[in-house]
Amino acid sequence: DSTKRVFSGIQPTGTPHLGNYLGAIESWVRLQEEYGSVLYSIVDLHSITVPQNPALLHQSILDMTAALLACGIDPEKSILFQQSQTKSAKQKQDGTAGLLTYPVLQAADILLYKSTHVPVGEDQVQHMELVQDLAQGFNKKYGEFFPVPKSILTPMKKVKSLRDPSAKMSKSDPDKLATIRITDTPEEIVQKFRKAVTDFTSEVTYDPVHREGVSNMVAIHAAVSGLSVEEVVRHSAGIDTARYKLLVAEAVIEKFAPIKSEIEKLKMDKDHLESVLQVGSAKAKELAHPVCQEVKKLVGF
């Protein structure tokens, strides 16, 4: 459907974590097949949780690119690009882009491509309300111009921290054991699950309200193995949570093994990664250009 356009973004933190993978990237890969026009942006202009050092930042953008390609993002099917390469040199130099808060810059990006659909995790639904308000506000003033973008909620809504299951898994968590990275070694993954917070009941059940820790593991297990939560719980009858942690770790290791080796391969060809981003950014600019021109005309710049 040529009237539909998907847009989503991810911060360049080097490698995605399990929450990014299950809450975003896995759906991004699926959406490439379902929508004709798809844009994925590495959002390097909100560098709060990413390195400020230019060389480090560049490396982490390339690492994220390698990770996204390894997860199945196909540059023939979607436009994979770097946010800062589509913003003018002037915006970057005077820091106008950086002055915008994360949700406002995100809204600007979504509207810049007249996106109609935005896959988001539960943690970003509020940001989407802002985007929708901005689109509607603009349209009220200047006539129907922007589609009001709809959220696509990913099936795996929120992966929780392994150490504090009341919080989401996040790259900025100072507790290194809380977050599983796609590139973690099998030993690291086992260690993190071993240290995962559970409770005093040893049975495996799914009860996200009263048993957040165990339920988080069940949800992760189901998501990486392609089983339903019910099936996972049924298969785990008679297993105590200590042993169960190792089963979940195994399932995660198995899921990430091929991705991890593909990342290692891709990282050896830096030129290829650079060129994917350059081609993607050129395509993204081409889409944004007429929208910018129209907006300037409507607003009377």
Contact characters 35-64, ligand ADP, x per CB under 6 A: --------------x---------------
Of residues 67 and 135, the one with the C-beta less far from ligand ADP? 67
Residue 217 to residues 163, 176, 253, Cα–Cα distance (Å): 12, 17, 14
Near ligand ADP by CB under 6 A: residue from 42, 87, 117, 121: 121
Nearest to 38 by CA among 73, 12, 87: 73
Residue 104 to residues 83, 126, 209, Cα–Cα distance (Å): 14, 12, 33
Near ligand ADP by CB under 6 A: residue from 15, 20, 198, 216: 20
| Closest CB 217 distance from ligand ADP, rounded Å | 14
| Closest CB 215 distance from ligand ADP, rounded Å | 14
106 and 9 Cβ atoms separated by less than 8 Å: yes
Contact characters 137-176, ligand ADP, x per CB under 6 A: ---------------------xx--------xxxx-----
The CA distance from 220 to 45, in Å, is 31
Indicate whether 19 belongs to the interface with ligand ADP (CB under 6 A): yes
| Closest CB 290 distance from ligand ADP, rounded Å | 27
Indicate whether 283 belongs to the interface with ligand ADP (CB under 6 A): no
SS3 content of the chain, % helix, strand, coil (to 5): 55, 10, 35
| Closest CB 195 distance from ligand ADP, rounded Å | 18
Binding segment for ligand ADP (CB under 6 A), chosen from 52-60, 84-92, 118-126, 193-201, is: 118-126
Tell me the pairing of strands 117-120 and 79-82: unpaired
Binding segment for ligand ADP (CB under 6 A), chosen from 115-123, 211-219, 246-254, 274-282, is: 115-123
Residue 120 to residues 107, 110, 256, Cα–Cα distance (Å): 13, 12, 22
| Closest CB 172 distance from ligand ADP, rounded Å | 6
How far from chain centre, in Å, is Cα 278?
20
| Angle separating helix axes 241-267 and 212-225, nearest 10 degrees | 50
Indicate whether 30 belongs to the interface with ligand ADP (CB under 6 A): no
The tokens describing 178, both together, are 């809380």
Binding segment for ligand ADP (CB under 6 A), chosen from 120-128, 133-141, 193-201, 271-279, is: 120-128
The CA distance from 15 to 66, in Å, is 9
- Residues near ligand ADP (CB under 6 A) are 10-11, 19-20, 23-24, 49, 120-121, 123-124, 158-159, 168-171
